[in-house]
A and B are shown apart, each in its own frame.
Chain A
Amino acid sequence: MNDTILEMRSITKRFPGVVALSDVSLTVARGEIHAICGENGAGKSTLMKVLSGVHPAGTYEGEIIFEGKPTRFGSISDSEREGIVIIHQELALVPYLSIAENIFLGNEQHNKLGLIDWGHVNSLAYDLLNRVGLHENTTTPVSQIGVGKQQLVEIAKALSKNVKLLILDEPTAALNDNDSEHLLDLLRGLKNEGITCIIISHKLNEIMEIADSTTIIRDGQTIRTMPMDDPEVTQDLIIKLMVGRELEQRFPTRNVAIGEEVMRVEDWTVHHPTQSGRVVIDNASLTVHAGEVVGIAGLMGAGRTELAMSLFGRSYGRDISGQIYLHGQAVTLHDVDDAIAHRLAYATEDRKRYGLNLLADIKTNISAAGLKQLCSKIGWINSNEELQVADHYRGQLNIKTPSVLYNVGKLSGGNQQKVVLSKWLYTDPDVLILDEPTRGIDVGAKYEIYTHINEMAANGKAVIVISSELPEILGVCDRVYTLAEGRITGELPIGVATQEHLMALMTQEKSEQKELR
């Protein structure tokens, strides 16, 4: 194990006006699983981009020694030729091509005539799928398989390139617990085959479980590299090193003062927008009170987002039936504008695709949903007031940016999430639906987001938190509904809920539900 496969020495990478990495060193032993931890914006991804040639040699200072040789990668294809493959958080598969076509994209297998030998390709792909434990037809289009399986296709693709060093950036961020577990098993298997692996993850329990050593990066500097068999290394220690401060508790406490019922949903049924006859949400009923944080726990595909979006002005689904009551009054919300007017807010789970205009500045994003308040009688936007509003939320939610005129795309995930929250707080909602409010953001920012959730509840708002992370549900909610296959399978006060109990309800299948009834 003392054989070193990779050494990065004194890497310094500057962007205009910002030093992203400052004298960072990383040593990875052959055949180990090496975790890299750090808050968002700490420089983890930049380091991996330097390693894989996305930032070509010459744009950074320092040395990279791979397999004992100093290397200077000019592009990703250079590093892939040496056996370094990086799998990004956002998967890079072509949805309409088959699994086999995706695996060999850019690496097509030709016969003597220079044509693609499909028989050969599919048999190679079949072997690779077996290696990663994915039992799908090689000719299935990638768009038809779930995110977890797509992740496996990416790994199969890496294996087809004779990978020696596999880099995974947040591989389990979008996966449910079962898929995550499978992926981690696979990584252990690859390790036994001699493949070295660097994994970037925010999920510390996974790192504890799988990593052989861990390097902590903070503010563009290496803080420490630790072997994981050292009994002193605990999750708390990692968190402490990541944030550079003691984090006594992961969830802030609050005084719960639950008021009157704000929203009640009865017999909510939603059909799939394109596949007619497919029921996505089946007879769901729920209530939320002022000052209450209600959790909706469900696995990916359970219909969490679909439920929230269909409630939020029918922005998802068709043939919706059921009734929404706000403050005891039956209402019909025809569209999002209507929902906002009725003081509903929905902060999406996918900031970049559904939450933000990444081309625009922070100010414009914050005012996007509450723009009416900024318009004078004749319809002019008061841009000075807009600035004031944006600056107010920058202060209140501690959005880390020099100015609200900066482009929102430049912010880290946690700060982007705060912009999304600001946007909805500015509409002054009674009911806030937060869909995966802490996805892809680091521990410190998570704590801040939880604090804001508590504040919202304390201000008398009804908050619905949708999450697949059970500790989060247990940490922030007062009451929790479980969702499985579009049905509400349970409702528990948080006092009696346990992770095991919730998971059992979340994985309940339709047949079992019928038996129980």
Chain B
Amino acid sequence: MTSTTAPVTSAPGPSPIAAFGRYFMDNLRTNGILLAFAVVVLVFAIMEPTFLSKSNLTNLVLQYSYVLILAIGMLMVIVLGQIDLSVGSVIALTGAVAAVLVKLHGYPWWVGILAALFVGLLVGAWQGFWVAYVGIPGFIVSLGGLLIFRGLAQLVLNYISVGPFDQTYYNIANGFINGWLGGNGYDVFTLVVFAIAVVGYGFLQWKARLGQLRYQQEVAPLPIFIVKLAIVAVVAMLFAWQISHHRGLPFILIILAVLIMVYTMVTQKTAFGRHIYAIGGNLNAAELSGVKVKRVTFWTFVNMGFLAAVAGVVYSSRVNAAQPAAGNGFELDAIAACFIGGASTTGGIGRVGGAMIGGLIMAVISNGMQLMGVSQGVQPVVKGTILLLAVAFDLYNKRRAGGSR
């Protein structure tokens, strides 16, 4: 065996282009999705000049943030080997609870939010109980939940839309931080925040690379590493430049960024996160390695309920009303985001970052098509096709690599 295995450490290639080609193919999975994202953005940027405009980029963030929030929780559920179909209904229910408390009973905005989050936790605990301790597949439990919570939302709202909210609640998904550090026609604060984020990202990547090198791991060739960082920095700063010229830093972008960071850490750096992957990868082996499968399953669903409630608050704030039909079909967008982002349909594989890119691909496609005035019926056709192609590509990639990631 040993005599036939290929050497790992990438020897200095004959040419940088060849080295890049090999690196790209070796990491086709992660690079493929980034490439797909870049292509989608480029296509719309060329076909529809307003796509990269200040107002549209801002709009993009505001319009799809709740799907991305859902996708974070959904990713964890999918990695666990389960699915949650109820999140759209939970958005409606939690938004309804907040709206009824704030609007009809005159409670302050924060009571509404806390109540919504609490309902989300309860919903998650309810579903987690049936999945983890009774042993009903998440598909069935959440199919029940989809009906139950939709019905409850209608009952809570008494079949009518409740709104508008006061200014503070409205600002959650529509507010901006602007002018803290001044600026002439653009917001300096936005640029500073992005600059700090880019530098921090670069620093963490560099540290990770040094760590990997110290343990003699395979890393991307240095030029590729630098080019990659540079692209990320340039794209991020261009994005910041554009939105800073519009209305500044959307408040919701901060919430989203914090959630992504926290959940990336939870999934990658904690025992709880590790256990989710272990259960999805091989439930029996996880159980025999001391993983408390029921407990982890339960809390993953509780977490999904919580994030669905966050999305519920954000969505109701965004549309400035709680509606009985709110969030209809959002679960499918969130699930699609995870699979486009490389999650395995059978669990055990997937990353928060991937799901975010997957969600952004969907967001860019929807938004781009709307700008171009593509008819309503065509949009879901395109999105469905993209989902199929993404998963097909993933399967092809797995076969090619013969079982490797």
Contacts and interface: CB of A to CB of B under 8 A. Distances in A.
Interface in B366-390: none
A346 B404 contact: no
Contacts of B3: 219
B287 A315 contact: yes
B75 to A, nearest CB: 15
A175 interface: no
A41 to B, nearest CB: 4
B21 interface: no
B349 interface: yes
Given A357-B348, A384-B215, 17 more contacts: A15-B402, A16-B402, A42-B1, A219-B4, A339-B290, A357-B286, A359-B282, A360-B281, A364-B278, A371-B274, A379-B272, A380-B269, A387-B217, A388-B215, A400-B2, A410-B404, A412-B1
Contacts of B217: 387, 403, 405
B184 interface: no
Interface string A285-327: 0000000000000000000000001001101000000000000
A340 interface: yes
Given A219-B1, A388-B215, A407-B405, A357 B278 contact: yes
Given A359-B348, A402-B5, A405-B217, A354 B405 contact: no
A368 B269 CA distance: 13
B264 to A, nearest CB: 12
25 contacts: A16-B6, A17-B6, A18-B4, A18-B5, A335-B292, A336-B287, A336-B288, A340-B290, A346-B288, A353-B282, A357-B281, A357-B285, A360-B278, A368-B274, A368-B291, A369-B290, A375-B270, A379-B271, A379-B272, A380-B265, A380-B269, A402-B6, A402-B7, A402-B8, A406-B404
B182 interface: no
A364 B215 contact: no
Contacts of B290: 313, 335-337, 339-340, 369
A14 to B, nearest CB: 10
B48 interface: no
Nearest to A409: B403
Interface in B281-313: 281-282, 284-292
Nearest to B280: A359
Interface residues of A, number: 54
Contacts of A403: 8, 216-218
Most chain-B Cβ atoms within 10 A of its Cβ — which of A15, A360, A403, A405?
Answer: A360
Contact of A354 (B274, B280, B285, B344): B285
Interface in A376-422: 379-381, 383-384, 387-388, 391, 400, 402-403, 405-407, 409-410, 412
B211 interface: yes
B277 interface: yes
Contacts of A17: 5-6
A384 to B, nearest CB: 6
A355 interface: yes
A383 B269 contact: yes
A265 interface: no
Contacts of B344: 359
6 closest cross-chain pairs (CB), A and B? A17-B6, A357-B281, A402-B8, A359-B281, A369-B289, A359-B348
B6 A355 contact: no
A358 B346 CA distance: 13
Interface in A133-185: none
Nearest to B279: A357
Interface of B: 1-8, 211, 214-218, 265, 269-272, 274, 277-278, 280-282, 284-292, 344, 348-349, 401-405
A428 to B, nearest CB: 13
A432 to B, nearest CB: 14
Nearest to B217: A405
A99 B143 CA distance: 36
A357 B286 CA distance: 8
A348 interface: yes
Nearest to B272: A379
Interface string A361-379: 1001000110110010001
A105 interface: no
Nearest to A351: B285
A19 interface: yes
A439 interface: no
Contacts of A502: none
A220 interface: yes
A356 B285 contact: yes
A206 B265 CA distance: 54
Contacts of A371: 271, 274
Contacts of A339: 290
Contacts of A406: 404
B6 A18 contact: yes
B289 A19 contact: no
Contacts of A361: 405
A446 interface: no
A357 B7 CA distance: 25
A20 B4 contact: yes
A423 B214 CA distance: 23
B78 to A, nearest CB: 13
Given A16-B402, A41-B1, A355 B285 contact: yes
Given A383-B269, A407-B404, A356 B282 contact: yes
B215 A355 contact: no
Contacts of B218: 403, 405
A359 B277 CA distance: 9
A447 to B, nearest CB: 16
A400 B265 CA distance: 31
Contacts of B274: 364, 368, 371, 381
B281 A358 contact: yes
A190 to B, nearest CB: 33
B281 A336 contact: no
Interface string A423-461: 100000000000000000000000000000000000000
A381 B281 contact: no
Contacts of B4: 18-20, 219-220
A313 B293 CA distance: 14
